[in-house]
Amino acid sequence: MSLTNASPEAAARAAKLGSRKLAVLPTQARNDALTAIHEALAKARDQVLAANAQDLAAATKSAESGELSQSLVKRLDLGKKGKYEDMLQGILDVRELEDPIGKVDVRTLLDDGLVLERWSAPIGVLLIIFEARPEVIANIASLAIKSGNAAILKGGKESTESFKVISTVISNALSSTAVPNDCLQLVTTRDAIQPLLQLDQYIDLVIPRGGNELVKSVKKSTQIPVLGHADGLCTAYLRADCPASVAARVIVDAKTSYPAACNSLETLLVDDVALTDLLPSVAEALLAKGVSLRCDAPSKTALSKVLDAHSAALLQDATEEDYRTEFLDLILAVKTVPQTSTPTAALDLAVAHINEHSSHHTDMILTADETIARKFQEAVDSAGVFWNTSTRMADGQRFGFGTEVGISTNKIHARGPVGLEGLTIYKWRIDGQGQISTEYKAGGKQWKHQKLPIATHERIAATDEELAVLRSFREGQSERRNGT
Amino acid sequence: MSLTNASPEAAARAAKLGSRKLAVLPTQARNDALTAIHEALAKARDQVLAANAQDLAAATKSAESGELSQSLVKRLDLGKKGKYEDMLQGILDVRELEDPIGKVDVRTLLDDGLVLERWSAPIGVLLIIFEARPEVIANIASLAIKSGNAAILKGGKESTESFKVISTVISNALSSTAVPNDCLQLVTTRDAIQPLLQLDQYIDLVIPRGGNELVKSVKKSTQIPVLGHADGLCTAYLRADCPASVAARVIVDAKTSYPAACNSLETLLVDDVALTDLLPSVAEALLAKGVSLRCDAPSKTALSKVLDAHSAALLQDATEEDYRTEFLDLILAVKTVPQTSTPTAALDLAVAHINEHSSHHTDMILTADETIARKFQEAVDSAGVFWNTSTRMADGQRFGFGTEVGISTNKIHARGPVGLEGLTIYKWRIDGQGQISTEYKAGGKQWKHQKLPIATHERIAATDEELAVLRSFREGQSERRNGT
């Protein structure tokens, strides 16, 4: 890793050149580099935590004067119980994942002796812009090396001291491995973000890891593709046939287990036939956890009738704006889906509301009816469409990806939790024996376009009837092999 | 299809709403729409060609006064032998392709009774900006409907009359099908491109189909992802062990079969040990086809010695700029790869040249050595890496995709020739039975993360030891089923 005060352009160019060396390293060489990083960071624990304490002291002072938020100070703290160990374990977890590079997923016989294959390959150079969390550096370094990508890391100034030490440790560790140091660039230069975002000749993908404002400002400033999500406005649609205990349990989890997370619940849609029997127990469970409920008129009226006076007094009125708001707090907007002629028509109204208002991150339906659930999952245009489980399940670790790069609300490339696979693209290989395009014109040779088993890797031989040029080509090969 | 003079915003909003209805249509309904379009366009042949003749007459006039190029006039001509039939056949070809929507490619048991699946899904709304070719409208309409995407089409003004008739025919045909008319929007409003490019709340992907200038200007003007290629600077690397007949044949095809195409050859790298034995026959074949050779000093010297005086006099001197130029014409830049200590080192030099100079579209190696070819295919960072076959093979039809959307030099989402699959993304579905995220904290339940066969579609049942909440959930379901 280069801890660099070099210009953004020099850093990006070095990363690009390094990326091509990294891209051709075998699996074992990339895994060995992760082992080396893990060992070095385990040994350097005290040194890293001492630097982190410096960052933490400065941040605490800034927080006291109101410049920084308390939650940022918390995210900065690497010494918190188990956090350093989690960071170390994350490196090993990534190492143990299947190699995402060099996998063949398409294999087509175009013609005799002419085989097309699609191979997974690294994207190239990633630019990761992140805010306070210092563990991201180890996390991203692991994911980048495992997937054969170079990475340029630009962190928040609050964690400068931690980054300097971590990057020096990683740099020393890498020098004993086959991974070129240039493949990881930590840019400490101030005001480097804007110049980096202009370097589309070197950088292939930008991944902002931070709040909405960071993601939005990055998207506005670059022609490089951006992988990230700006908002997480998640919705639950509660049907009358969902058992009350399940409804309360799942909705409480989705709303309260981590209200500041992007996969937390922000809006509850409820069928009007569920207002009196089912909604009250859900509302009581939420109120007991300190959640403010912003209700439309039908749901407020129904709840007011059955809740005790104390609870009823806590209910608030929802505005239209509430259904477009990512609260990131213990607030839930509640909206009634009016009963219509058919149960499916109510579903359609709920789906239309979600497609119009949600941020297409993750939405869930709570129902005992599989047919309704399937229609919901098909019609809702979101990265995650969950049935009878919490929106909080939208997470790379829970999906089994190991560490996650982030969660994408993009509609192309990668959607939802993004793991190693989201850091890959593919190449098209063709192995031929001298075939040319004009042979396949109208009246000429016919394309075979036959799907081949992906596992078969022997080269497909041409038939005896093949064209003279193929024969001469093989003769040429064989003459050379025989040294004639 | 709506032939609209509505505002760009109204057209885009209508497309977005229509896209959600299209997205849930079954395969058969989408295929039926293609059948209807095919029949209608077959019947309307005379009417379409009459309108096309009007466009052609106007364009011919503009070409005479030098406002339009002759090649644009040619591309405009739908009456050219076989072109209308090809357009019609293309619709049927797309209809016969496998449905790209609703395919499951990941299936993971997260825990008992908790299954994660990844389903392919349409992207949403595509904006297609194209230049003269009027057949693109039928082509893109087919691809969009088949893949469940709405499309907004904005064509060049030269083909206005053809578009008006084609779109009216398609619109009438669609009205008898399940596909909403709003899913295809033909925008005829002038100056609509810039406003459309700002509508990222409605449009998910922009596909410019035209020259470099169009693609570059679109990329600069929008935050919406753009699928396209700006340049096609393709390279051949010729090794001394390639039989002369194969070398000449493949290189002549790559350079001369369609010089204006993006997959045509622009640079030839040749090992210095091949300059005297192999290069002359290749050069002669190219010169015979009228190709201008721009050579570096070693290749020019070698060729001058062996070619006849007439041919030798045709050789030109290459500049550094020639190795960065997409000629799109009968010109080829030739560069010598100096012999080094090992054959692999020469390969490394060729690869480094390509990674630095090529546009990462398609590059090929001509050699009898499989080990060298594999290294080349691994190390060259391009969408297509071909061995002993022409760069001109980089084409959706040749790859067996049916009609192609275009060729992408992007490093994310889709790379190389893009067919139906490039117009899809996926959703993550989870089917649960009331499980919540906090159950899986440290010390709690363990994730199973077990890969399941993709073909198995029965719902995975939970075990007898499952949590009480799951039991009560199933009891609730069963009570409801029994009407108690």
Residue B473 phi, psi dihedral angles, 5° rounding: -65, -45
In the predicted structure, residue B105 carries a pLDDT above the cut 50: yes
**Predicted local distance difference test score (pLDDT) of residue B471:** 46
CB count in 10 Å sphere of residue A211: 13
Average the pLDDT over B79-89 and give the result.
91
Q: How confident is the model at residue B2 (pLDDT cuts 50, 70, 90)?
A: low
In the predicted structure, residue B481 carries a pLDDT above the cut 70: no
Q: Are residues A374 and A313 in the same domain?
A: yes
Which residue is closest to A381 within chain B, CA to CA?
Answer: B20
* Pairs across A and B, CB distance < 8 A: 270
> Which two tokens mark B438?
């906090």
- Out of B404, B434, B467, a domain closes at B404
Separation of alpha carbons A287 and A310, rounded Å? 10
Separation of alpha carbons A366 and A36, rounded Å? 47
**Predicted local distance difference test score (pLDDT) of residue A455:** 64
A451 is a domain residue: no
> Which two tokens mark A321?
């704006």
A24 is a domain residue: yes
Separation of alpha carbons A373 and A371, rounded Å? 5
Residue B151 phi, psi dihedral angles, 5° rounding: -140, 140
Q: Which of helix, strand or coil describes residue A62?
A: helix
**Predicted local distance difference test score (pLDDT) of residue A484:** 40
Separation of alpha carbons A113 and B65, rounded Å? 50
Q: How confident is the model at residue B198 (pLDDT cuts 50, 70, 90)?
A: very high
Strand partners, A243: none
**Predicted local distance difference test score (pLDDT) of residue B7:** 86
Q: Which of residues 17-76 of A touch B (CB under 8 A)?
A: 20, 23-24
In the predicted structure, residue B351 carries a pLDDT above the cut 70: yes
Q: Are residues A252 and A183 in the same domain?
A: no
A473 is a domain residue: no
Per-residue pLDDT of chain A (484 residues; tens, 9 = 90+): 455 567 899 999 999 999 999 999 999 999 999 999 999 999 999 999 999 999 999 999 988 888 878 777 888 899 888 899 999 999 999 999 999 999 999 999 999 999 999 999 999 999 999 877 888 888 889 999 999 999 999 888 888 899 889 988 998 999 999 999 999 998 877 788 999 999 999 999 999 987 788 888 999 999 999 998 778 999 999 999 999 989 999 999 999 999 989 999 999 999 999 999 999 999 999 999 999 999 999 999 999 999 999 999 999 999 999 999 999 999 999 999 998 777 788 999 999 999 999 999 999 999 999 999 999 999 999 999 999 999 999 999 899 987 788 899 999 999 999 999 999 999 999 999 999 999 998 889 999 999 988 764 433 444 444 344 444 554 545 444 444 4
Mean pLDDT in chain B? 89
Highest mean pLDDT among A202-211, B31-40, B473-482: B31-40
Closest CA to A156 of A185, A120, A186, A131: A131
- Which of A199, A427, A459 has the most B C-beta neighbours within 10 Å, making it the best mutation to test the interface with B? A427
B451 is a domain residue: no
- Which of A83, A201, A436 has the most B C-beta neighbours within 10 Å, making it the best mutation to test the interface with B? A436
Name the one residue in this structure whose structure tokens are 């399937």. Answer: A374
CB contact under 8 A, A412 and B225: yes
> Which two tokens mark A49?
């935590």
DSSP state of A445: P
**Predicted local distance difference test score (pLDDT) of residue B422:** 93
Q: Are residues B205 and B176 in the same domain?
A: yes
Separation of alpha carbons B141 and B405, rounded Å? 11
Q: Which of residues 355-414 of B touch A (CB under 8 A)?
A: 355, 368, 370, 373, 375, 377-379, 381-390, 392-395, 398-400, 410-414
- Which of B388, B421, B452 has the most A C-beta neighbours within 10 Å, making it the best mutation to test the interface with A? B388
> Which two tokens mark A218?
């990055």
Contact A55, A185 (CB under 8 A): no
CB contact under 8 A, A477 and B219: no
Closest residue to A412, CB basis, from B388, B425, B430: B425
Closest residue to B480, CB basis, from A110, A116, A241: A241
CATH of the domain at B56: 3.40.605.10
Give the ipTM.
Answer: 0.90
**What residues contact A334, with CB distance under 8 A and at least 6 apart?**
A267, A268, A270, A279, A283, A293, A294, A295, A296, A299, A318
Average the pLDDT over B174-199 and give the result.
90
Separation of alpha carbons A383 and B255, rounded Å? 44
In the predicted structure, residue B467 carries a pLDDT above the cut 80: no
Q: Are residues B159 and B268 in the same domain?
A: no
- Out of A363, A382, A401, a domain closes at A401
Q: How confident is the model at residue B68 (pLDDT cuts 50, 70, 90)?
A: confident
> Which two tokens mark B407?
């060729």
**Predicted local distance difference test score (pLDDT) of residue B455:** 63
Per CB-CB distance under 8 Å, the chain A contacts of B125 are none
Q: Are residues A209 and A239 in the same domain?
A: no
Contact B104, B414 (CB under 8 A): no
B279 is a domain residue: yes
Q: Are residues A205 and A251 in the same domain?
A: no
Answering whether pTM is above 0.80, one says: yes
Separation of alpha carbons B349 and A297, rounded Å? 73
Closest residue to B477, CB basis, from A351, A368, A382: A368
Q: Are residues A390 and A318 in the same domain?
A: yes
CATH of the domain at B273: 3.40.309.10
> Which two tokens mark B156?
């060049």
Instruction: Please check whether residue A425 touches B, CB under 8 A.
Output: yes
A434 is a domain residue: no
Residues B422-449: pLDDT tens digits? 999 999 999 999 999 999 988 899 999 9
Q: How confident is the model at residue B156 (pLDDT cuts 50, 70, 90)?
A: confident
Distance from CA of B232 to the nearest CA of A (A): 15
CB contact under 8 A, B379 and A417: no
Residues A323-333: pLDDT tens digits? 999 999 999 99
- The 3-state secondary structure of chain B reads CEEECCCHHHHHHHHHHHHHHHHCCCHHHHHHHHHHHHHHHHHCHHHHHHHHHHHHHHHHHHHHCCCCCHHHHHHHCCCCCCHHHHHHHHHHHHHHCCCCCCCEEEEEEEECCEEEEEEEEECCEEEEEECCCCCHHHHHHHHHHHCCCEEEEECCHHHHHHHHHHHHHHHHHHCCCCCCHHHEEEECCCCCHHHHHCCCCCCCEEEEECCHHHHHHHHHCCCCCECCCCCCCEEEEECCCCCHHHHHHHHHHHHHCCCCCCCCEEEEEEEHHHCCCCHHHHHHHHHHCCCEEEECHHHHHHHHHHCCHHHHHHCEECCHHHHHCCCCCCEEEEEEECCCCCHHHHHHHHHHHHHHHCCCCEEEEECCCHHHHHHHHHHCCCCEEEECCCHHHCCHHHHCCCCCCEEECCCCCCCEEECHHHHEEEEEEEECCCCCHHHHCCCCCCCCCEECCCCCCCCCCCCCCCCHHHHHHHHHHHHHHCCC
A30 is a domain residue: yes
**Predicted local distance difference test score (pLDDT) of residue A130:** 83
Q: Are residues B243 and B213 in the same domain?
A: no
**Predicted local distance difference test score (pLDDT) of residue A229:** 78
Closest residue to B436, CB basis, from A242, A390, A432: A390
- Out of B354, B373, B404, a domain closes at B404
Q: Are residues A209 and A353 in the same domain?
A: no
Q: Are residues A58 and A206 in the same domain?
A: yes
Closest CA to B292 of B312, B314, B261: B314
Separation of alpha carbons A209 and A250, rounded Å? 27
Q: What is the amino acid identity at position A102?
A: G
A450 is a domain residue: no
Q: Are residues A95 and A174 in the same domain?
A: yes
CB contact under 8 A, A428 and B440: no
**Predicted local distance difference test score (pLDDT) of residue B4:** 57
Q: Which of helix, strand or coil describes residue A160?
A: helix
In the predicted structure, residue B463 carries a pLDDT above the cut 80: no
Per CB-CB distance under 8 Å, the chain B contacts of A411 are 123-124, 204-205, 225, 425
The domain of A112 spans: 2-220
Per CB-CB distance under 8 Å, the chain B contacts of A377 are 427, 429
**What residues contact B310, with CB distance under 8 A and at least 6 apart?**
none
**What residues contact B50, with CB distance under 8 A and at least 6 apart?**
B165
Instruction: Please check whether residue A476 touches B, CB under 8 A.
Output: yes
Contact A433, A471 (CB under 8 A): no
Q: Are residues B150 and B201 in the same domain?
A: yes
More confident call, B425 vs B405? B425
Q: What angle do CA A410, A414, A415 make, to 5 degrees?
A: 60
Give the count of domains, chain B. Answer: 2
- Which of B104, B348, B428, B429 has the most A C-beta neighbours within 10 Å, making it the best mutation to test the interface with A? B428
For residue B343, the Cα-to-chain-centroid distance in whole angstroms is 35
CB contact under 8 A, A400 and B447: yes
